[in-house]
Structure 1
Amino acid sequence: MNQLIESLPTAARVSLLALCEPVALTLAQVLAEAGSLTRYVYFPTASFVSLIAELDARHRVEVGMAGREGMVGMQLALGHKHDPLGAVVQGAGEALRVRAAAFRKELARSAALRHRLLHYVGVLMNQRANAAACLRYHEIGPRLSRWLLMSQDRAAVDEFPVTQEFLAVMLGVRRVGITGAASDLQRRGLIRYHRGQLTVLDRAGLEAAACSCYATDRQTYSHLMER
């Protein structure tokens, strides 16, 4: 189950679930394009999605992630009907989907849902601020370690598919930088990477190698969402 939905009071949770339809998300599926009209919101249950800022056709970078702890389409809770970011499925799997119009009506009706989502807005604001600072100040290796940990948290498995081209886009670096950083992590016995499949071998070691942003993001989520 999606943790945002689970955290709602019983009546609000039942009402929202009545609007949801289960969908299977596929790897690299585009759920939203920046500037497009929002058609659906998604609550991942066994999948996760990269949220991508697009400067132009050639320059994109990941500024957030949404898995079973969150949702895609948060802008509707702030009164915006268009997608501010692109959304691409990074981890295939199940999700719950709600039509945008129905979700807006539920927001207007349910104070409990509005209250919960405002806490999640705080999480996203901190996540994106950290992403900007991380991009500017931290080295590729620690940033890659952070990204892999975030992905593993949402995939809930040790092994998942990912290409170096995709990682380069997500981290906003050249592929050669990803190759070097991934090779270093592999030499240290923290990961194994072969033919597009990455396996986390040493979770504790990867946490030690990650930049401080990983721990900050987790602390922020716990602080804001467990109120």
Structure 2
Amino acid sequence: MAADAKGLSLLETLLMSALVFAGTSQLVALQLWSDPAPILAATLACLVINLRLAPMGAALAPALDRLSGLRLWGTLAVLVDNSFALMVAEIRAGRRDAAFLLGASLAMWAVWMVTTLLGHAFGAAVRLPPDHPVFFASVAALMSILVPLWRGWSDVFPWCVAGLLALCAQGLGLGAPWPVLAGALGGAATGAALDRHRNRGRA
């Protein structure tokens, strides 16, 4: 719907979803979209937002350390927040099959493509006000990712740090993608520091 509002054709929208496959990045790129398209600015914004995938990929090392070459980079190419959360739950349960991560990611890619097509085809028939409750759906979906990641109250502090940093960046007037990046990297660093401290205590 957002792409249609910016004048992108169905083919252009499907190509964006197929090649970028990152909802937040697509929305940020569309917010910056104009004529002529700001290719460099949009690319930089998407790069900054997707930097959060670097610590996510590192966290999956127990499942990915046996892969190399095309198998490794192909799996990482379709990594998204939802498949990351599912794979973390698998690793914590003692299962480390990287094929599960690839399968989950590809299934989500297929659903993403179908819903992109439906949204573009029928989005014009739905005109909702900006504050309509349905727009909370994407936020609710992201919040649901926290469920399989939950290990106990020790997880609350890094999550709070991530949220506060994102809010601070937003409050300072830093637009997208800086709040997302500040929250992602700050929360990841806090979680890593706490895990290291706990591991030292056990040693």
Please give the range of the TM-score, normalised by the shorter of the 2 chains.
under 0.3
Q: More helix per residue: 1 or 2? A: 2
Q: TM-score, normalised by structure 1?
A: 0.25
Question: Quick one: higher RCO (CA 8 Å, sep 6+), 1 or 2?
Answer: 2
Larger radius of gyration: 2
Q: More strand per residue: 1 or 2? A: 1
